[in-house]
Each structure stands twice: as C-alpha cells, then as structure tokens.
C-alpha cells in the first residue's frame, strides 16, 4: 500500500495558529488509520541555509575588573556576509555601559581576514572575555581573558560558518524512544549540515540506506484533528529550521510496505513533520 501526503508548515494556520517552521501540526483532509506494527525512516530532507550564525548564550563579550563586570551581547541571528556579522559585533562593543571603547571603530579587519581589536579605555587590570563559539568565529586563539587595554589580534581568519552546527537532529513523535547518550528521545535521523553552503540557498539531503526505527505499539489515528499523544521532554536545537522530508513507514510484521512522502512546501515557511 502506498500513500502520499503534503505537509507544509503553514498548511493549517487557522486551526494551528501557533505553528512555526521548527514545530508544527497539520490538519489532514481526510481520515487516516495505521494499524499494527510499523517502522519509519527518513529518506529525503529539504532545508534552507538560513540557520543562525549567532545564538543567544553564545554571543557575549565581557569586561572584568576589580570594581565591575560589564557584559554586552552580539545580536543573535543569521548573517549574509562577514561584513554584516562584524557590523553586529561592532555595534555590541559600542554599547558598553561605561563607554569603554576608545574609537567609534572598535576593530579592524586585516587583509588576510584576521581581526584586530582596538584597546579599551580601561586600566591594565581589566580583562576581556568572549563566549567560546564567538571567539572561534572571530579567529581568536582562545575565549580569554585578554588584557583589555592592549590590541587583540586574531590568529585565524574570521569565519561565520563556525557558528553553524555540523548536524541537525530530526524527531518524530510516533517513534519509540531511542537511547541517546544519557537520555531517550524519538530520534528519527541525524542529518549533516552543509556549513559552507551559500546563505539562503536550498539543500536537499538523500538517504540511500534509510535507518528503520520501530514506531509505538499504539494505533495512530487522524480524523481531522491531531492525534493526542503524551508529550516528551526532548532537547530541540534552538538554531535549526526543520524542513520537509520523505520518510518510509514499514509494516514489519509482514511483507507489506507503505511509503509516506512529505513534499517541499512552497514559499519560505518550511519544516519537517515532527509527528501526526
């Protein structure tokens, strides 16, 4: 038995107004029932290369002295170029509460794409710290501390792609939970991310050898409303946009197979199916 469904993230805005590209529900046009024991596998994934280069919690620059600690945060989000990325860093540096930046241009980008930070107008005891991933993107040798009243010179070229995770995790609610290190979650597939892809382009990932995972022993039913299943505490990567995918449903107690196909959504709002 073969059947196909098209489930874009913006298909049911009136029924599910809180849908996002990362997590959504879709109201089907007709009743669907799956009986017996089934397996599922991801076979194709579509996603746009707009994953955030800077995320909250990994974007801080901190001045530490004997009398105060002053922290500013670079703007989280995606950047289409190194220039835009550095503008965001510069805006953050200029926003220190004590106006500690000497110049209106707090750093210089050298011809070899390394960065040089200008000295801060502070005493020699003050140190500057960077969030680890931000330091990596800026090409610094380590997160700090650095003497804040001296020039800070990068050892490698600035590379904003180092803020993009190398993989994304696809979850599907109808699966049995898998052991993932110290926890369990209904993980469908780990997908490599093309960190060097052009910003805004579309990536399609094919899996020639799908990994089959057993579904829950319950009957999955959809009669126009979302089938209510207990929600699990699952860690979702906050920077990822989950996209349309194809996956296989395999009825493993006999020879019959079903193919569940999710096609790419139109427009910019796209996401993978996280469950029925």
- Is residue 26 located within the same domain as residue 72? no
The pLDDT, as a whole number, for residue 135 is: 92
- Is residue 44 located within the same domain as residue 173? yes
- Is residue 158 located within the same domain as residue 65? yes
Average pLDDT of the residues in 19-28:
73
- Is residue 189 located within the same domain as residue 115? no
Q: Is residue 272 part of a domain?
A: no
The pLDDT, as a whole number, for residue 83 is: 86
Average pLDDT of the residues in 239-262:
37
The pLDDT, as a whole number, for residue 120 is: 74
Domain that holds residue 176: 3-51+164-261
SS (H, E, C) 83-107: HHHHHHHHHHHHCCCCCCECCCCCE
- Is residue 83 located within the same domain as residue 123? yes
- Is residue 195 located within the same domain as residue 226? yes
Segment of 35-44, 248-257, 262-271 carrying the highest mean pLDDT: 35-44
Residue 243 CB contacts under 8 Å (≥ 6 apart), including other chains: 45, 46, 47, 48, 264, 270, 271, 272
- Is residue 65 located within the same domain as residue 201? no
Contact at 8 Å (CB) between 54 and 74? yes
- Is residue 158 located within the same domain as residue 168? no
* pLDDT tens-digit map of 51-83: 888 888 888 988 888 888 888 888 888 888 888
The pLDDT, as a whole number, for residue 232 is: 35
* pLDDT tens-digit map of 123-182: 778 888 999 999 999 999 999 898 888 888 999 999 988 888 888 888 877 778 888 888
The pLDDT, as a whole number, for residue 53 is: 85
End of a domain among 162, 180, 213?
A: 162
Q: Is residue 125 part of a domain?
A: yes
- Is residue 92 located within the same domain as residue 37? no
Token representation of residue 162: 């180092």
Q: Is residue 26 part of a domain?
A: yes
Q: Is residue 271 part of a domain?
A: no
Q: Is residue 145 part of a domain?
A: yes
End of a domain among 139, 162, 185?
A: 162
- Is residue 218 located within the same domain as residue 237? yes
Task: Tell me how many domains the chain contains.
Answer: 2
Residue 225 CB contacts under 8 Å (≥ 6 apart), including other chains: 27
* Of the candidates 251, 237, 246, 249, the residue with the CA atom closest to the CA atom of residue 273: 246
* pLDDT tens-digit map of 84-115: 888 888 888 877 755 555 455 678 889 999 99
The C-alpha atoms of residue 225 and residue 240 are separated, in whole angstroms, by 27
The pLDDT, as a whole number, for residue 271 is: 30
pLDDT above 60 for 245: no
* Of the candidates 175, 164, 174, 152, the residue with the CA atom closest to the CA atom of residue 101: 152
* pLDDT tens-digit map of 179-206: 888 888 888 888 888 887 877 788 888 8
Confidence of residue 252 (pLDDT cuts 50, 70, 90): very low
Q: Is residue 200 part of a domain?
A: yes
- Is residue 170 located within the same domain as residue 158? no
Torsion sign (Cα): 22, 23, 28, 32: positive
Residue 213, beta-bridge partner list? 40
Cα 142 to chain centroid distance, Å, stands at: 24
pLDDT above 50 for 39: yes
Q: Is residue 210 part of a domain?
A: yes
Better pLDDT: 215 or 186: 186
End of a domain among 162, 191, 225?
A: 162
- Is residue 47 located within the same domain as residue 168? yes
* pLDDT tens-digit map of 132-148: 999 999 999 999 898 88
Q: Is residue 218 part of a domain?
A: yes
Q: What percent of the chain has pLDDT over 90?
A: 9
């Amino acid at each position: 038995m073969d059947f196909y469904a098209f489930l874009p993230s913006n298909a049911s805005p009136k029924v599910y107004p809180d849908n996002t590209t990362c997590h959504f529900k879709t109201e089907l046009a007709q009743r669907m029932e799956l009986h017996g024991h089934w397996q599922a596998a991801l076979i194709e994934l579509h996603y746009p290369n707009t994953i955030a280069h800077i995320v909250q919690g990994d974007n801080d620059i901190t001045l530490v002295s004997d009398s105060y600690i002053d922290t500013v945060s670079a703007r989280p989000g995606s950047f289409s170029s190194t220039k835009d990325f550095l503008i965001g860093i510069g805006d953050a540096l200029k926003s220190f509460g004590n106006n500690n930046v000497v110049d209106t241009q707090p750093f210089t980008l050298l011809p070899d794409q390394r960065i040089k930070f200008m000295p801060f107008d502070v005493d020699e005891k003050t140190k500057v710290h960077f969030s680890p991933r931000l330091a990596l993107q800026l090409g610094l040798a380590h997160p700090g501390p650095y003497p804040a009243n001296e020039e800070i010179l990068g050892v490698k070229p600035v590379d904003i792609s180092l803020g993009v995770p190398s993989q994304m995790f696809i979850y599907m609610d109808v699966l049995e939970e898998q052991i993932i290190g110290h926890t369990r979650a209904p993980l469908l597939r780990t997908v490599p991310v093309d960190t060097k892809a052009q910003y805004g382009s579309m990536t399609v990932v094919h899996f020639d050898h799908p990994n089959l995972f057993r579904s829950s022993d319950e009957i999955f039913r959809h009669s126009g409303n979302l089938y209510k299943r207990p929600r699990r505490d699952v860690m979702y990567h906050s920077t990822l946009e989950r996209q349309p995918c194809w996956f296989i449903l395999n009825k493993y107690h006999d020879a019959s197979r079903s193919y569940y196909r999710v096609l790419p959504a139109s427009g910019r709002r796209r996401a993978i199916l996280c469950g029925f």
